[in-house]
Chain A
Amino acid sequence: MITTPHVDWFALSPTLALLAVAASALLAAVLVPGPLRKPVSATVTFAGFVGSFAAAAVLYAHSADAHGALTGSLMRDRWGALAQLILAGAGALAVLVSYGERTKEHVSEYYALLAAAGAGMIFLAQASSLLTIFLGVEWFSIALYILCAIDIDRASRLEAGLKYLITGSFGSAFLLFGSALVYGATGTLRLDLIGRAVADRGLSDDPLLVVGLAMMLVGLAFKMSVAPFHQWTPDVYQGAPTPISGFMGAATKAVAFVLTIRILQTAFAQDAHLWTVLLAVLAVASLVIGNLAALVQTDVKRILAYSSVSHAGFMLMAVAADSALGGRAVLYYLIPYSAMSIGAFAVVAARERELGHDVSADDLAGYGWERPVLGVALWIFMLGFAGFPLTGGFIGKFYAFSAAYRHGWLWLVIIGAAATAVSLWYYLGIVRQLFLRSSAGAAGSTGTPSAPPRDALLQIAVVACVAITVASFFAVQPLIDLAKHAAGSLPF
């Protein structure tokens, strides 16, 4: 008789829900007649993300004590569960935003892949062995490569997909080789055992381990789109379907940060003297490059992409602080940030559908008066990105700054504040376009009879994003308590 390891199906339920949905959506591509394919697969996928969200909520409630599942290759803890809540929420919103996309082919496949990517991320949020980490990273990445290029007739989509594939695989190869070296140094794949081996056997200055750590950080920094590993971000965000860009901006970043903190705190706590300084330097690089490059962009999706690089810098400040406060800060930060990212890209998507071409900053002139709901929403997102009070972005930044300050890095806080000041330039620039410019110049392309009717689902998603952005400011205490309990399950 073969003894099989105990499987904690409950811990896997958020992932399994989405996997089932991905399979059903694929089946729908074959079994459901053409006109019904889109509503059926979209509904199923939305239900899957909602189910996954609910499962993650239950999991959060019942995982007060962190413990391994599946022989320790997954962790069942609140850290992962809270991340899964964010990811599942982002996925559900992305489905709503995607529904109005006017593609005729591969609709079911689109939703199947979205569900698969979500499943991979949700799996990765719990992953706690080098093997599951690599699997999870590749799982969601491969799904995203295809999603970027799913509209195969457009050269820019193809270019984005292939670029993402090549650079992404290049980064993953570093992650894998780093994992191999860490395994070589410690003899185990499990993060907690690696951490114990390093502490017990004094391996923190082992060359294999140190180089392995560096290589793993390259792979993770790539997924977090931290400078100088960020260069794929603007190209891919610009080239990908807009709802997918929003989803990537929110979910990829969220899972990469959650995972990075888990790896660093569990396995490499002994090497904190190395990675804290490195991450601080990378944070500065991201803040500088992200904000400066965003200043000179004209395409709105590129502006948002560079803004996401700079936000990676802000969050990295908190990671580099190497404290429970920093972990809480990142988890809190991700909540409004994900909502703002998806919401902002959703507004761009709406404009894109009206115009039928890519949206430059000039195309937003007077948009706030044409479509007040979307205009005001985008305004709120921009203020939130810039860190204005009355949005969660303010508290997120404040939290990240205070984590860095507690660590004694006043200089980092000052750079962060300066970066915020620079970022005002382009965020408020968009607001100015929305409300203080008349749309006279763009009159030829707007208000024409071909303009599609308002997209109710997209508006619902945008309003939900606004609600999250604003509510995360007012209801900060419950969210911080959530994040605090989640951070309590990692050995800070």
Chain B
Amino acid sequence: MAGPGIPAYLGVAVFLFVTGAFGVLLRRSPLIVLLSLEIMLNGANLALIAFSRHWGNGDGQIFAISVMAVAAAEVVVGLGLIVAMARKKLNLDVDELSSLKG
């Protein structure tokens, strides 16, 4: 049974990536920003898996699984930093991270 073709998968992947990117650009809570970054990576994962099926080799799927591991590590670090901020009673707002500038 023929499902949707590559363009459809790629379309969704791009949609996810752009959604994530806008999330990073527009949201001010660091938690949501981390979430948006994950969505961007997942968009890429979807594209990888779709292409993997298209080419009939497993490379893309292996790549996608590795990306998940990496993303998890990244989130751990990000959450750790956010917790540290909360402990210091800093406002959870990325726009307030602007003492370093110029």
Contact = CB atoms under 8 A, between A and B. Distances in A.
Nearest to B98: A159
Tell me whether chain A's interface is mostly helix, strand or loop, or mixed: helix
A211 to B, nearest CB: 10
Contacts of B51: 180, 183-184, 187
Contacts of A149: 81, 84
A56 interface: no
Interface string A142-184: 1001100100110110111111011001100100110111011
Interface stretch (A15-23, A131-139, A325-333): A131-139
A163 to B, nearest CB: 6
Given A131-B66, A188-B59, A180 B47 contact: yes
B12 interface: no
A165 B81 contact: yes
Interface string B60-102: 1011001100100110011011101100101000100101111
Interface in A115-141: 130-131, 134-135, 138
B44 A180 contact: yes
Contact of A159 (B73, B80, B97): B97
A5 B95 CA distance: 49
A166 B24 CA distance: 8
A89 B42 CA distance: 37
A393 interface: no
Tell me whether chain B's interface is mostly helix, strand or loop, or mixed: helix
B70 A138 contact: yes
Given A134-B70, A184-B10, A156 B63 contact: no
Nearest to A135: B66
Given A142-B74, A158-B88, A173-B40, A134 B101 contact: no
The 3 A-B pairs of least Cβ separation, nearest first, read A187-B55, A173-B40, A184-B51
25 contacts: A131-B59, A131-B66, A134-B66, A135-B66, A135-B70, A156-B99, A159-B100, A162-B78, A166-B24, A166-B30, A166-B37, A170-B24, A170-B40, A173-B40, A173-B41, A173-B44, A180-B47, A183-B48, A183-B51, A183-B60, A184-B6, A187-B54, A187-B57, A188-B59, A239-B100
